């Protein structure tokens, strides 16, 4: 059983067998940082998994905020995914480009809004194409559906709550940004932002949870948390650059049966972009800090 995988992650083989099944919905959640020189919407139009709809993480979001892709109000989310033909009772599979990159954020959003049967596809569309699986370029015209939300407010942490967590140490903080950004040795990709991390945070770079676009097995995930100094018997808040890759840690936590976790939606864009927040540089302290 040592190579047991997450119950929330499905293989491309399984997805291909389900294509066209009733109440089975595929969602392309590809999103990229400017430095990656890739465009999720353009790639989707150029070829996607048959029947997949495109979930634009910057559109299905709060537009009144200066922060990127913040969690939308439940009624806004319901209206948008309803237009994509997705109901809360469907089996929903989310994928991205390289695999285990931006799909977990949309997996987390669907679950936070009340959908129960949501999965992430291993390997991404890159892996799907490499294996020569079917693609289509037609843009689907799904019949509108009704998505009944059952929003879980606990899943999302606000700035004020995060400030309290940092000052009291009430929750462990797992940071998904790269190690250089965490220590402050590397500049943030967004201009005008301080480098470093929140006091007490642990570094868990998002890329370390997968290999070749596939999510690591449960034993490896568990070891990763232990090595980072995260106690899985205690509450955790996840964070990253802008709230997207933090969900990779969230996916790992839920995969290991850890339910007492929440995601800091504003993440470093909010925390590091302010002048009134404590920022620490250097590696995370080890042991009890």
Q: Which residues are catalytic?
A: 240
Would you call 9 helix, strand, or coil by DSSP? strand
- Cα separation, 258 vs 224, in Å, equals 14
219, 2 Cβ separation under 8 angstroms: yes
272, 194 Cβ separation under 8 angstroms: yes
Burial class (CB in 10 A: 0-12, 13-18, 19+), 253: buried
What are phi and psi for residue 231, nearest 5 degrees? -90, 115
What are phi and psi for residue 222, nearest 5 degrees? -60, -45
Please report how many Cα atoms fall inside a 13 Å half-sphere around the Cα of residue 209, on the Cβ side: 35
What does the angle CA 4 – CA 10 – CA 15 come to, to the nearest 5 degrees?
Answer: 150
CA-nearest of 110, 108, 104 to 77 is 110
114, 88 Cβ separation under 8 angstroms: yes
- Cα separation, 48 vs 128, in Å, equals 9
CA-nearest of 128, 212, 200, 144 to 171 is 200
Cβ within 8 Å of residue 289, ≥6 positions away? 200
């Amino acid at each position: 059983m040592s190579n047991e995988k997450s119950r929330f992650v499905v293989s491309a083989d399984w997805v291909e067998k389900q294509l066209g099944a009733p109440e089975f919905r595929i969602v392309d959640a590809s999103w990229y940082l400017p430095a990656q020189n890739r465009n999720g919407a353009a790639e989707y139009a150029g070829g996607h998994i048959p029947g997949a709809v495109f979930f634009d993480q910057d559109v299905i979001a709060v537009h009144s905020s200066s922060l990127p892709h913040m969690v939308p109000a439940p009624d806004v989310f319901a209206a948008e995914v309803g237009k994509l033909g997705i109901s809360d009772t469907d089996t929903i599979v989310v994928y991205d480009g390289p695999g285990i990159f931006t799909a977990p954020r949309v997996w987390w959003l669907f679950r936070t809004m009340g959908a129960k049967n949501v999965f992430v596809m291993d390997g991404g569309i890159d892996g799907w194409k490499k294996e020569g699986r079917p693609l289509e370029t037609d843009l689907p015209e799904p019949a509108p559906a009704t998505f009944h939300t059952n929003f879980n407010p606990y899943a999302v942490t606000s700035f004020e709550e995060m400030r309290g967590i940092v000052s009291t140490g009430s929750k462990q903080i797992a940071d998904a940004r790269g190690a250089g950004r965490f220590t402050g040795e590397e500049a943030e990709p967004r201009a005008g932002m301080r480098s470093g991390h929140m006091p007490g945070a642990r570094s868990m770079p998002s890329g370390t949870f997968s290999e070749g676009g596939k999510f690591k097995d449960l034993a490896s995930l568990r070891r990763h948390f232990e090595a980072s100094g995260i106690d899985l018997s205690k509450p955790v808040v996840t964070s990253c650059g802008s709230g997207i890759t933090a969900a990779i840690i969230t996916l790992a936590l839920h995969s290991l049966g850890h339910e007492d976790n929440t995601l800091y939606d504003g993440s470093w864009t909010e925390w590091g972009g302010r002048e009134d927040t404590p920022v620490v540089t250097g590696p995370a302290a080890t042991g009890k800090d």
